[in-house]
Amino acid sequence: MAGLVLERIRKAHPAELLVLSYIIAIGIGTTLLLLPWATVSGRIPFMDALFTATSAICVTGLIVVDTGAYFTQWGQTILLVMIQLGGLGIMTASVVFFQLIGRRISYKQRMAVQGIFSHTPRADIYHLLKSIFLFTGVLELAGTGALFLFWRDAYPSASEALYVALFHSVSAFCNAGFSLFANSFADYQGAWLLNITVCALIVLGGIGFPVVYEFYARASQRPETRTRMSVQAKTVMTTSLILIVSGMVVFLCCEGAKLEQGQWGKSVLQALFQSITCRTAGFNTVEISSLMDTTLAFFLFLMLFGASPGSCGGGIKTTTLAILSMASWSRFRGRTNVNLFRRNIPRETVQRSISIFLLAVAVISVALFLLLLFQQGHAEASPDHRRFLTSLFEVVSAFGTVGLSMGATGELHGPGKLLIIVLMLVGRVGILTFAYLFLGSDATGGIERAQENVMIG
């Protein structure tokens, strides 16, 4: 039996390997959280353990129990390991592990990792992975050091402050959003060191390892031999900057009346933090349910597109947004080619971007309908007029692996929790990867029939 399973895995498509690796990791994580020494009370319901493990592996941050109060330090450490593995990618970690023990990886494993971290085929995939692990370790240690300086006087022992700093540094860099505090960072709205450190970790973890590696490679080259920056890097950096600034401006404009008068520095810090974290990180310094509908509507947009390809974050990615925007602009101008930074984008890439967006909208729409259906029998638990927006926010947050919530997570029941679990997994591995499992990847032209035009628009 075991031999048949191993043979099936060896023959699996890279997309199947990727999904399977996450499912196995979630299963192991759930089992570990069910152990008596993982929780303060010695027990946790199976569905809550499964939900928490999925949220950690998929670096989402949605929680049904208070992380700091419900889990022991051992349980929190299990979560931290799952967050780290989920942030780097299960396949990535397994490839590096095989390299360390001297085992060769299969061609399909290599292709699975290649698809995650590189937009073009490259021969130095192992060097790229080593650089990713080194970069991750250096940044997380730097973040830990900065947060330790912030918390060292707030705890009775240096080891306790170091542990809290390490947990939040890893959680921030991996865009996980897990916090040991019941209200996330709401008590630290004006703490510049903490806010800037967490924001920097989120951005660096969310722009994508390929972009970071490219900047590193360019910096190590001499000016006369330095290669041109790729369209991928330019698109990611430009789109990310536009989204961060626009989110910050919208927050200040919509929530300005609620912010403390005369403390513009603190207000700008709050706006910057929420604009960055609502992309995929899930931390918050303000109560999300208290925000205006206009702010939440824009946050839905930010959460949907999320981070960048090859990063710790989720969503349908910043590059997809950029390509869709330029494709629409080109069509309005009567042009068939899509150009970015004086380079032509392949038609297949444009079509994939459109497919990803349409599939994402379809999945979110169906999930929203099902969540409303599953929860309608428990309507008395949340009798406010924003139930539709609250449910939509929860669905988009799960799909984008963001982790922000208007309070719906705590009200979820069995079917609702299972739905959010599936959404988190789909959002993390990618919607096209999941679509392959049901549709396959063999592209065919189909039957060519006579053409006839149809009115649109």
Q: Is the pTM of this model over 0.85?
A: yes
* Residues with Cβ within 8 Å of residue 325, at least 6 apart in sequence: none
Any idea where the domains of the chain sit in the sequence? 13-118+125-220+229-439
Alpha-carbon torsion angle 240, 62, 67, 190, nearest 10:
40
Contact 252, 268 (CB under 8 A): yes
How many C-beta neighbours within 10 Å does residue 129 have? 21
Instruction: Give the model's pLDDT for residue 105.
Output: 52
Question: What pLDDT score does 124 carry?
Answer: 57
Which stretches within 223-346 are classed as H helix? 231-255, 264-280, 293-305, 318-332
Contacts of 43 (CB under 8 A, 6+ apart): 36
Give SS3 for 408.
coil
Do 61 and 177 touch, CB atoms closer than 8 A?
A: yes
pLDDT of residue 379: 53
> Residue 199 is encoded by which pair of tokens?
């924001």
Query: What are the structure tokens assigned to 57, written together?
Result: 């592996």
C-alpha 299/C-alpha 292 separation (Å) is 11
Kind and range of the H or E run holding 344: strand 343-344
Burial of 28 (0-12, 13-18, 19+ CB in 10 A): middle
Assess contact for 83 and 56: CB atoms under 8 A: yes
The length of the chain in residues reads 457
Pairing of strands 343-344, 339-340: antiparallel
Say if residues 351 and 269 touch (Cβ distance below 8 Å).
Answer: no
Residue-wise pLDDT tens for the chain (457 aa)? Answer: 545 544 555 556 667 777 888 898 999 999 999 999 999 999 999 999 999 999 999 999 999 999 999 999 999 999 999 999 888 765 565 555 445 544 455 555 555 555 555 554 455 566 777 778 888 899 999 999 999 999 999 999 999 999 999 999 999 999 999 999 989 999 998 899 999 999 999 999 888 888 888 887 777 777 767 778 889 899 999 999 999 999 999 999 888 766 666 577 788 899 999 999 998 888 999 899 889 999 999 999 999 998 888 788 888 999 999 999 999 999 888 888 889 988 899 988 899 899 899 999 999 999 999 999 988 766 554 545 678 899 999 999 999 999 999 988 888 888 999 999 999 999 888 887 777 666 655 555 556 778 787 876 6
Q: Cβ–Cβ contacts within 10 Å for residue 339, how many?
A: 13
